Amino acid sequence: MSAKEKDEIVARAAVLLRRGYHCSEAVWLAYSERLLGERLADSARLATGFSGRAGGAPNQTCGALSGGILVIGALLGRDDLRGDEGPALRAADRLRSAFISELGDFRCEPVYASIHAAEGAGSCVFVVKRTVELLLDILEEYDLELDSVER
């Protein structure tokens, strides 16, 4: 994927968040547009339950990280019990580790508090954009042909 394509996905995630999508939905939708084409409108449903913390519960995984893990599952997850779950689990673990490294925690409330602190970035747009950047860096290491994904 070219740097321009990456920048377009990152920018699209920010636009979606500003339009009112939750962090999980924005991350999922920005990437899934390439995967799902015309089915895009229905695909937000996959990510809605992770909005504003998983199920809205205190101290749960940030929605942006959850959306990124959904993308990883869509691209690297197994199709059945005989499939290899290893690539998806390793990629998800790498995304979680990178997210914590960059943002200090994986839970919504501490991340939200830190970016909205006086010295913070001031908006969840920063979190969503950074999550997509981290995700794209990780996925770049896999030999994924997006054109071959059924639409």
Which pLDDT belongs to residue 102? 95
Which pLDDT belongs to residue 151? 35
Domain boundaries, the chain: 3-143
Q: Of 24, 21, 42, nearest to 33 (Cα)? A: 42
Which pLDDT belongs to residue 37? 64
CB 124 within 8 A of CB 64: yes
Which pLDDT belongs to residue 65? 95
Which pLDDT belongs to residue 137? 93
Which pLDDT belongs to residue 88? 95
Strand partners, 107: 61
What is the rounded distance in angstroms from the CA atom of residue 31 to the CA atom of residue 28?
6
DSSP state, residue 30: H
Three-state SS across 90-143?
A: HHHHHHHHHHHHHHCCCEHHHHHHHHCCCCCCCCHHHHHHHHHHHHHHHHCCCC
Residues of the chain with pLDDT under 70: 36-42, 53, 55, 58, 145-151
Structure tokens at 89: 């689990």
- pLDDT digits 0-9 by tens, 116-146: 888 878 889 999 999 999 999 999 988 775 5
